[in-house]
Chains A and B, each alone.
Chain A
């Protein structure tokens, strides 16, 4: 068994199809007849253009405009002065073969783009390489095309990295899952798999060394596990999971419009946890009734400087507008612990999870904190926005955070900038001390949101990143459950709602308990919304209509 990152939920049992890495094409470097080399390059470019036009035509039938556009841009790359223009130039100047000239130019451009900070531009490196290798393959007289249409149904694609022009040709009727050795949550494979709604595992290191074409494989897009040549028992288990999952998805989608009420008539919300604007579309498609957790960390990561107030404001505003009146809960920056920022120097800590992270870090960096608070407040004039502070461990922290918020409100008022003065302000309950004193906190905030991932690790003293003790990490431990119950009842005593936004909210075994405790809102990843809804409806035993 190998483990990667499950980026698109679901299960698949299928047959492996391995896409080979570009086997180093061998070629001669010096050219005897440069004019003939230029001619070969021109012909290979023409052929490449025809191939891409064909791919674009097919892609239009199954992909949205944005994804088609990326492939279309490859057509521009073929004639680009910086790519083939430069290659023609080198053939003439250096008397090298078309292959040598083109592969050198492609490599240089690839390195340049890979080094860019901006995620979008970085991704273009893959497009340039894709075009370059296509022309190279055509020079060598190899088509290199995978016959996607000829793949049998139930194919699981394995690749070191899927090229954009490959992913654009994937047909979900044929391909049931994707596995790549490289990539992360935001790689194009991940985005495409989510758009096609097929399970995917990325970052699965060295999997190509183990898998062979035709092997029976199991892909668990929830846990990120990939099983090669599994035994009959595992196949049976996953076939059942696969059926249950698609059944649940169907059920969840079928009932997406209905409001869920508990047995005692309380309205229950199912919302989404998102990391950025691009997750909202999937969340709404799956029936999210709002966003219970907007992790703002991703706005700050993978860049050289802090995002400005204006930049953040625009993102929060756009998110609120996309949600069209549904609630958007923005969590202020939770950095530190395992995540650091290049432009915010932090001392090395021996216990980072018990150190300067989240609200503690923000309170020590008032400028960083206020920039975000002002951006959130300004966006609150444009939609149903609420905000919450992470990692509150004592009353003083909450008071200081609220004071900082009030300062920002006063500033904006004086500047005559519009915002919602009564923006609902809540806090995360993810430290045992906060759960144990929830009664006091409930009087000071507008809502609670329980973060079970951290609550579990702090309650049980189990580092969730440490694989050697992963069996001890149990969010269903009675101690954790008791803290959750205490928090929910403290919230209700003060008349405020309580949300849960950890992985536990989509856990089938936990849902009946959480319902029993009186949880008001379940916030889960976009891919788990339909499933969570259908588990809730099953537990309640009705279609979720309000009792008469």
Chain B
């Protein structure tokens, strides 16, 4: 299993658009991907569960992946969050 912590740095946090970008990215991998925000945990391939994380700007989330392509999956999702989803 690979895991990585990353700070949400886009203004609105995980609203619909950023969440849907994460879902699309996660969908490209076979690994099971989980994103955690404090005690909440979400399946990265589910937009509804990502929204329910209620992750806001400055929250630190943990990305966990388990599977053949776990390293690449974690790297891409981390990069996407760090890129502020192209905001600003």
Is the C-beta of A82 less than 8 angstroms from some C-beta in chain B? yes
Report how far A76 CA is from B16 CA in the complex, Å.
10
Q: A82-B43, A85-B46, A109-B48 are in contact. Are A116 and B54 (CB under 8 A)?
A: yes
Q: Is the CB of B17 within 8 A of A69?
A: yes
28 contacts between A and B (CB under 8 A): A69-B16, A69-B17, A70-B16, A73-B17, A73-B20, A73-B47, A76-B23, A77-B47, A80-B46, A80-B48, A80-B49, A81-B45, A81-B46, A81-B49, A82-B43, A82-B49, A82-B52, A83-B48, A112-B52, A113-B51, A116-B52, A116-B54, A118-B54, A118-B56, A120-B15, A121-B54, A124-B16, A128-B48
Residues of B near A124 (CB, < 8 A) are 16, 51
Question: How large, as a class, is the contact surface on chain B?
Answer: 10 to 19
Report how far A218 CA is from B81 CA in the complex, Å.
50
Residues of A near B46 (CB, < 8 A) are 80-82, 85
Nearest A residue to B43, CB-CB:
A81
Q: A82-B43, A118-B54, A121-B54 are in contact. Are A77 and B15 (CB under 8 A)?
A: no
Report how far A69 CA is from B21 CA in the complex, Å.
12
What distance in Å separates the Cβ of A110 from its nearest Cβ neighbour in chain B?
A: 11
A interface size (C-beta, 8 A): 19
What distance in Å separates the Cβ of B66 from its nearest Cβ neighbour in chain A?
A: 16
Residues of B near A77 (CB, < 8 A) are 47-48
Taking a contact as CB atoms closer than 8 A, the residue among B12, B48, B56 that contacts A82 in the complex is B48
Closest 4 CB pairs of A and B: A82-B48, A73-B16, A81-B46, A76-B47
- Of residues 11 through 64 on chain A, the ones whose CB sits less than 8 Å from some CB of chain B are none
Interface of chain A: mostly helix, strand, loop or mixed: helix
- 0 or 1 for each of B15-32: is its CB under 8 Å from A? (1 = yes): 111001001000000000
What distance in Å separates the Cβ of A299 from its nearest Cβ neighbour in chain B?
A: 15
Nearest A residue to B14, CB-CB:
A121
Please indicate which of the listed interface residues A76, A77, A85, A128 has the most CB atoms of chain B within 10 Å of its own CB: A76
What distance in Å separates the Cβ of B19 from its nearest Cβ neighbour in chain A?
A: 8
Nearest A residue to B58, CB-CB:
A310
Report how far A81 CA is from B51 CA in the complex, Å.
13
Report how far A120 CA is from B13 CA in the complex, Å.
11
Report how far A353 CA is from B74 CA in the complex, Å.
55
Report how far A184 CA is from B69 CA in the complex, Å.
47
- 0 or 1 for each of B36-52: is its CB under 8 Å from A? (1 = yes): 00000001011111011
Please indicate which of the listed interface residues B16, B45, B54 has the most CB atoms of chain A within 10 Å of its own CB: B16
What distance in Å separates the Cβ of B29 from its nearest Cβ neighbour in chain A?
A: 14
Report how far A83 CA is from B48 CA in the complex, Å.
8
- 0 or 1 for each of B51-79: is its CB under 8 Å from A? (1 = yes): 11010100000000000000000000000
Report how far A73 CA is from B46 CA in the complex, Å.
12
- 0 or 1 for each of A72-94: is its CB under 8 Å from B? (1 = yes): 01001100111101000000000
Nearest A residue to B52, CB-CB:
A112
What distance in Å separates the Cβ of A336 from its nearest Cβ neighbour in chain B?
A: 28
Residues of B near A85 (CB, < 8 A) are 46
Nearest B residue to A83, CB-CB:
B48
Q: Is the CB of A113 within 8 A of B47?
A: no
Report how far A16 CA is from B23 CA in the complex, Å.
42
- 0 or 1 for each of A127-142: is its CB under 8 Å from B? (1 = yes): 0100000000000000
Report how far A405 CA is from B47 CA in the complex, Å.
45
Residues of A near B15 (CB, < 8 A) are 120
Report how far A80 CA is from B52 CA in the complex, Å.
13
